[in-house]
Structure 1
Amino acid sequence: MKAVHFGAGNIGRGFIGHMLSASNYDVCFVARNPKNISLLQQRQEYPITLANNEQDTTIVNNVTAINVNEQHRVAEEIASADLITTAVGVSALGDIAEPIAKGIYLRMKANNHNPLHIIACENAIGGSTRLKKRIYPFLDESTRAKAERFVSFPNAAVDRIVPAQNHEDPLQVTVEPFYEWVVHRPAMLDGFKEIEGVHYVDSLEPYIERKMFTVNTGHCVAAYFGYLAGLKTIRQVMSNTALRAKVRYVMEETGAMLIRKHGFNADKHQKYIDTILGRFANPNLTDQVTRVARSPLRKLSPHDRLVRPAMQASEFGIAIPHLTSAMAAAMLFDNKSDEEAMKLQRYIREDGLSPFIRERMGIPEEHVLHHHIITRYEELQGHKVLT
């Protein structure tokens, strides 16, 4: 079996590529970094190390790589592949749509009717569906009709913390022991081969929202609170009793919404929160606050990890004072090395606070959360150190 994976970064190598190789796929990474591409082609393997006390190391083999700009080669790989996965960041899905479309065209032209699954492993709700919408405009009507029969885009939820890192070996990557990859089973075509370690479910939304609004929300909240407190790493944030409590309170507020919406067992969800907090505090991982906090405009957008659970909780009448505080903290993220943070600050400075909340976050002025965010922002503003 052959898989083509877009993105040879830490997530691509340390999570998706590792799982595919362990499930006996030959993995062809489609990447941009010439050094990593060359090394993957030469060695056809790389090490991953678990962030545990034993520092267990595994060699991932049966891998190679090609440059994303070599679109004809990429298309040829896709034309004969059994699976396509991505870990490029949801904002970059549009950049890989055309080469995937060219591969689908070659595949359909050659009458390759073996099932092809294209799974976007991104921190986004409906990532594969978004990718499909980017790809289809590059296909002619006849190819689209064939693709509807033989190509599927199952949505997925993925979860593994892989911090930014540097090693003597450029291909080595350190990952946390925990991982979760959940795929929407009804979208799988007949004859598909299950990937070892993947959890296939009939209803994906509960798993996506549980992960997004617990792990992703909690992680970025720890970063924004930590940034205001002048801390450098997530581990430092989790070692601070008061800040760890703030993060827990936010996760319990989103948890109340998830329990109400999806019928999760309250005790089991509390244990899930405890597990996530333990992962954030892993003493063998060093994750920079500024890395986790990056791209605040995206994280404050209407359908992402802060505003979406807040609006849903509000619809259920669930009080969310700590999540509201977290959104205000995100709006105060002013790291000069983060392009989005600088845009955020410019928008607020030039347009005003209320228009930013209305236009960028999608929260109308008449909504109660709109005024709560302004109040908390004004309370936090001017206090570089969060107390």
Structure 2
Amino acid sequence: MRAVHFGAGNIGRGFIGLLLSQGGYEVCFVDVNEELVSELQSRGEYPVTLASEGGETTIVKGVTALNSATNSAAAAQAIAEADLVTTAVGVNILKHIAGTIAEGLKLRFQSGTAPLHVIACENAIGGSTQLKEAVYALLDEEARKQADQFVAFPDAAVDRIVPLQKHEDPLKVVVEPFYEWAVDRSQMFENFVPVEGVHYVDRLEPYIERKLFTVNTGHCSAAYMGFLKGFDTIQEAMNDQEVMEHVRSVLEETGALLINKHSFNESEHQQYIHTILERFKNPALTDEVTRVGRSPIRKLSPGDRLVSPALQAYERGLTYRSLAKSMAGALLFNVPEDPESVELQASIQKLGVLETAVKYTGIAADHPIMKEIMEQYNALKPLVK
């Protein structure tokens, strides 16, 4: 079986590519990083090491790669011949790979009608659906009809912490032991070949929101509070009692929402929260606060990890104070190397913090959540050095 995976970065190699290979697939990575592509082509394998006490290493074999920037025709042909297509490129990049996928589907339809699943493994709600829309926009009516019959874009939820890292071996990647990859079975063709290690579910939204509103919300909350207190890494921040208690409080708020909305078992979800907090503290991982907190504008957007659970909690009469504090922390996240941070701080200088917060969160100036954000912002501002 052959899989085409877009994104040869740390997540692609250390999570998706690893599981696909272990599931019996020959994996062809598609990327624009020529160094990674050349190394994968010449070696045909790479090491994945667990950030655990034992530090076990797995050699992922039977892989190759293509550069879609310099050889888009070959990438399209690979899609035409693939049994599965996956991505881990970042949700904002999906629109840039849609053209290659569309061309691959056109070639595929010329030679046959074998069913194909295209799964976007991104930190986003409905990532595969977004990719489908971008691909369909590049297909003519006849090709769309064929895609409706023979191509499925099941949404997925993925979870594995892979920090920024640099090794002498450019292909080596260190990942945490924990992982979860859930795929919406209801959006797939019958008789699909399951990938070992993937959890197939009939309703994906609860799993997506559980991951997004626990792992991602908690992670960025630790980053923003850790940044304000001068810590360099998430692990350092989580060893600070004040940061730890804030993150725990945030996850209690999102947990109450998730239990209320999706009827999760309360004790099981409390255990899930405990697991997440321990993952953040993993001493074998070194994850920079600036990496986890980067792109604050995206993280403050209406459908993302902070605003969405806060609004849903408000609508259900649940608390959101700690979520508002994390949003205030995002507004104070000032990292010159991060373009979104620069844009955010420039907007605050020009428009003021209230108008900026309204602009990026979509929350009205007179909304109770916005009033709480402003109160928390003023309380946290003295921490800025």
Structure 2 match to 1:364: 364
Structure 2 match to 1:85: 86
Structure 2 match to 1:141: 141
Q: Which moved more, 1:29-38 or 1:376-385?
A: 376-385
- Paired amino acid for 1:133: E
Q: CA deviation at 1:358?
A: 2.1
Q: CA deviation at 1:374?
A: 1.1
Q: Distance in 2 between matches of 1:349 and 1:133?
A: 37
Structure 2 match to 1:61: 61
- Does the 8 Å contact 1:257/1:313 carry over to 2? yes
Q: CA deviation at 1:320?
A: 1.6
Q: How do 1:113-192 and structure 2 match up within 5 A?
A: 113-192=113-192
Q: Distance in 2 between matches of 1:204 and 1:300?
A: 23
- Does the 8 Å contact 1:129/1:154 carry over to 2? yes
**Normalised TM-score (structure 1):** 0.98
Structure 1 match to 2:384: 384
Q: Distance in 2 between matches of 1:218 and 1:77?
A: 38
Q: Distance in 2 between matches of 1:362 and 1:271?
A: 33
- Does the 8 Å contact 1:158/1:180 carry over to 2? yes
Structure 1 match to 2:51: 51
RMSD: 0.9
Q: Distance in 2 between matches of 1:364 and 1:257?
A: 21
Q: CA deviation at 1:108?
A: 1.0
- Does the 8 Å contact 2:221/2:326 carry over to 1? yes
- Does the 8 Å contact 1:120/1:155 carry over to 2? yes
Q: Distance in 1 between matches of 2:76 and 2:187?
A: 23
Deviations 1:171-207 (A, max 9, x none): 0000000000000001111231100000000000000
Q: Distance in 1 between matches of 2:374 and 2:52?
A: 42
Q: CA deviation at 1:242?
A: 1.7
- Does the 8 Å contact 2:214/2:254 carry over to 1? yes
Do residues 97 (structure 1) and 98 (structure 2) align?
Answer: yes
Deviations 1:148-193 (A, max 9, x none): 0000000000000000101111100000000000000011112311
Structure 2 match to 1:326: 326
Deviations 1:210-231 (A, max 9, x none): 0000000000000000000000
Q: CA deviation at 1:354?
A: 2.3
**Normalised TM-score (structure 2):** 0.98
Q: Distance in 2 between matches of 1:145 and 1:346?
A: 46
Structure 1 match to 2:315: 315
- Does the 8 Å contact 2:85/2:117 carry over to 1? yes
Identity %: 56
Q: Distance in 2 between matches of 1:174 and 1:319?
A: 37
Structure 2 match to 1:239: 239
Q: CA deviation at 1:137?
A: 1.1
Q: CA deviation at 1:123?
A: 0.2
Q: Distance in 2 between matches of 1:362 and 1:53?
A: 44
Q: Distance in 2 between matches of 1:37 and 1:261?
A: 44
- Paired amino acid for 2:246: K
Deviating beyond 4 angstroms after TM superposition, the runs of 4 or more aligned structure 1 residues are: none
- Does the 8 Å contact 1:115/1:191 carry over to 2? no
- Paired amino acid for 2:40: L
Q: CA deviation at 1:355?
A: 2.1
Structure 1 match to 2:73: 72
Q: CA deviation at 1:381?
A: 1.4
Structure 2 match to 1:208: 208
Count of residue pairs brought into register by the alignment: 384
Q: Distance in 1 between matches of 2:41 and 2:304?
A: 37
Q: Distance in 2 between matches of 1:138 and 1:6?
A: 18
Q: SS of 1:19's equivalent?
A: helix
Q: CA deviation at 1:32?
A: 1.3
Do residues 41 (structure 1) and 41 (structure 2) align?
Answer: yes
Q: SS of 1:88's equivalent?
A: coil
Structure 2 match to 1:263: 263
Q: CA deviation at 1:353?
A: 2.1
- Paired amino acid for 2:244: R
Q: SS of 2:137's equivalent?
A: helix
Q: SS of 1:196's equivalent?
A: coil
Q: CA deviation at 1:366?
A: 3.0
Q: Distance in 2 between matches of 1:129 and 1:104?
A: 16
- Does the 8 Å contact 2:332/2:384 carry over to 1? no
Deviations 1:249-282 (A, max 9, x none): 0011010000000001111101000000000000
- Unaligned runs of 5+ residues in structure 1 are none
Q: Distance in 2 between matches of 1:6 and 1:64?
A: 12
- Paired amino acid for 2:160: R
